[in-house]
Chains A and B, each alone.
Chain A
Amino acid sequence: MSQQRLIRVRPTKIELIRLKRRLSLAKRVHSIVKDRLLILTMEFLQVAKENVELRERLVEKMGEAYRALGLALGQHGSEQLDRECLVAERDLKISASTKNVMGVRCPMLEAEGIRRRASERGYSLFDTSAYLDEAARLFEESLEIMVELGEMKKTLDLLGFEIGRAKRITNALEHILIPRIMASIKYLQMKFEEREREEKVRLKRLKIILSRR
C-alpha cells in the first residue's frame, strides 16, 4: 500500500509549505505528461498505420519486381543478366538527419537519385530488352520504399519507447508520488491541529490556575 506511506519530514510549517509546492509541481507535471502522452500516442498510431501501408506497398512492389526479373531472366539468360547487372552497380547516397517529434529525436533518411532513366543505368540498351528496364525500375522503386520504411520503423520504435517512459511517469505520479505527498500534507496538518488543541487546553488550564489564585 504505497499510498499509505509518508514522506519523512520534520513537522514544521516550512516543510508543509515545501510539500505543498511539491504537490503543485507534481500535479502540473502529471497533467502535462498526460497531455504529451496523448499527442505521442496519436502520432504513434499514425506512424504505425503508415508503416503497415508502406510494408504492403513494398511486398506488392517486390512481387512485381521479381516477376519482371523472372521475365528478364527468361529473355536474356542468367549469364548475360549477371553481366548487365554488374555494370549497373553503384553506391547509394542516403543522407541521414533528425526530426523532432514532441521532444523525441527521430531519424530522417533521404535517398538521392535512386530512380534512374534506362540510359543512366549503364547496361547496353541494344543488347537488353524492356523486361530488364521494367525490373530495374521496379527494384529502384522498392528501394525507395525500403528507405522510407526504415525511417518509419525506427520512428515507431522511438515513439513507442517514449510512450512507455511517459506512461511510467504518469503512473508513478498518479499512484505513488501525488498520494504520498497528499498523505504527508494531511499528516502534517493533523499534527498542527493537534498542537493547536494542546495549546488551547494548556491556556485554559493556565487560566483556571490563575483564576484560583
Chain B
Amino acid sequence: MEAIDAHGEGIYERLRRELGILSSHLPRERKSLRQLLAEGRPHVICNDGTAHHFKRRELEYLAGILGADEADGLLLPILIELTPSSSEASIALSSGAELKVVRRALGMEPTVRNGRIILYRPQVAALRRALRTSTQYSLAIGAMGTG
C-alpha cells in the first residue's frame, strides 16, 4: 500500500461548504403575495445573500387565482419538500391558499395528508412548469445522510 500525504484540510473545508450549498437557495424570510405584488422588482433574499426574483406574470397569475384577502395568506416561494428516495414530494399547508393554487396549476384535486399536500413526481414537474419562480425545492431532513 502506498501512502499519500492528503493532510490538506482544504478538501474537508470544501466538503463542509457543499453542505452549506444545500440550503443556500432557501429564502431567509418568505413574503406574502400581496407584499410581492406591491414591490417594483419582487424578490426574496436567499440564505446565501443572493436575491431570488419572481416573475410578475406568475404573481399576477397567482393573484388571479386567489382573492384579495387570500393574497396575504400565501407565502412565497412555495417550498416543495422532496425526499429523493421517495416518489412523493409535499408542500406544507399554512393556509388554504396553497391548496387552491396547486389545484388550479395541476387542474386536479391533489391529495392532502397530515396537513400537507402530497405531490407525485409528474405533478411536481407540472407545478414547477406553471410556477417556476414561485416555487423552490427543499430537501427533506429525513433524507439526509447521518454519517
Residues from 141 to 183 in A contacting B, C-beta threshold 8 Å: 169, 173, 177, 180, 183
Q: Is A32 a contact of B3 with CB atoms below 8 Å?
A: no
Residues from 108 to 159 in A contacting B, C-beta threshold 8 Å: 108, 110
Q: Is B146 a contact of A25 with CB atoms below 8 Å?
A: no
- Chain A nearest CB from B103 CB (Å) reads 21
**Interface with A: B49-57, B65-73, B94-102, B106-114, which one?**
B49-57
B79 beta carbon closer than 8 Å to chain A: no
Cα A101 to Cα B134 with chains together (Å): 11
Residues from 33 to 84 in A contacting B, C-beta threshold 8 Å: 33-36, 38-39, 42-43, 46, 50
Known: A28-B19, A102-B137, A103-B22. A108 touches B1 (CB 8 A): no
**Interface with B: A6-14, A85-93, A197-205, which one?**
A6-14
Residues from 115 to 147 in B contacting A, C-beta threshold 8 Å: 121, 124-125, 128-129, 132-133, 136-137, 139, 143-147
Cα A84 to Cα B57 with chains together (Å): 31
Cα A102 to Cα B22 with chains together (Å): 7
Interface size on B, residues (CB 8 A): 45
A95 beta carbon closer than 8 Å to chain B: yes
- Chain A nearest CB from B121 CB (Å) reads 8
Interface size on A, residues (CB 8 A): 45
Cα A99 to Cα B139 with chains together (Å): 18
Q: Which residues of chain B are within 8 angstroms of A101 by Cβ–Cβ distance?
A: 25, 137
B82 beta carbon closer than 8 Å to chain A: yes
Q: Which residues of chain A are within 8 angstroms of B15 by Cβ–Cβ distance?
A: 25-26, 29, 173
Q: Which residues of chain B are within 8 angstroms of A211 by Cβ–Cβ distance?
A: none
- Chain A nearest CB from B40 CB (Å) reads 10
- Chain B nearest CB from A70 CB (Å) reads 32
B18 beta carbon closer than 8 Å to chain A: yes
Q: Is A25 a contact of B16 with CB atoms below 8 Å?
A: yes
B38 beta carbon closer than 8 Å to chain A: no
Residue with the highest number of chain A CB atoms closer than 10 Å, among B128, B129, B132, B146:
B132
* Other-chain residue from A5, A6, A34, A103 in contact with B25 (beta carbon distance below 8 A): A103
Q: Is A39 a contact of B139 with CB atoms below 8 Å?
A: yes
Q: Is B55 a contact of A5 with CB atoms below 8 Å?
A: no
Cα A129 to Cα B79 with chains together (Å): 50
Residues of B within 8 A of A (CB): 1-7, 11-12, 15-16, 18-19, 21-22, 24-25, 41, 43, 46, 48, 50-53, 55-57, 82, 84, 121, 124-125, 128-129, 132-133, 136-137, 139, 143-147
Supplied contacts A6-B4, A101-B25, 10 more A-B pairs, CB within 8 Å: A6-B1, A8-B7, A28-B144, A28-B147, A97-B41, A100-B24, A103-B21, A108-B133, A183-B1, A187-B1
Give 9 nearest A-B pairs by CB, closest first.
A31-B145, A28-B147, A24-B147, A97-B53, A100-B25, A35-B84, A103-B21, A8-B3, A29-B15
